[in-house]
Amino acid sequence: MLFGRHEIKIDIHINYSNDEIRRSKCIAEPGISALEALAKVANIEYTPDESATCHHGAMVLAIDGFKVDINHFWIYYIYDDDHAGWMLPMCTPDMLKITKDCRVAWRYHAANGGKNIQKYGPLWTGNCISKIKRCNRQF
């Protein structure tokens, strides 16, 4: 606690899907959104609202130059100690408010019918030995 203010620690993992995962730490005030936390550690492009495509909220278009296109997209995950580990939040990243220490992972996916989204977790790389349900990497 600094001058009566609480701070939270957020571990942010960015998987560029080229066997490169960047890990950063973010110190923030409780209530920061997942999008704001990402913007603190990476260069991002996003649209503030995609209501025209039925996504009410921000959509990430690029992280550190890795852009969304017809074959690629970004998905973010939250690590939940109380459940099965990495989970897909059911809201856009600007709507998810972080109130306690946590881990957030972003993964650049190839659009191949969605087969690997649930099969491999956000920290999976070609070097992982575990290919069952999700990667066991715990940083």
**With 50 as the cut, is the pLDDT of residue 110 above it?**
yes
Q: Measured between alpha carbons, how far is 102 from 81 in angstroms, rounded to an integer?
A: 9
* Number of other CB atoms surrounding residue 89 within 10 Å: 15
pTM for this entry: 0.80
Mean pLDDT of all residues belonging to the chain = 82
What digits encode the pLDDT tens for the residues 55-90? Answer: 688 999 999 999 999 999 999 999 987 777 888 898
| DSSP3 helix / strand / coil % (the chain, rounded to 5) | 10, 40, 45
Domains present along the chain, CATH in parentheses: 8-119 (2.170.130.30)
pLDDT at 18: 86
Q: Measured between alpha carbons, how far is 58 from 45 in angstroms, rounded to an integer?
A: 10
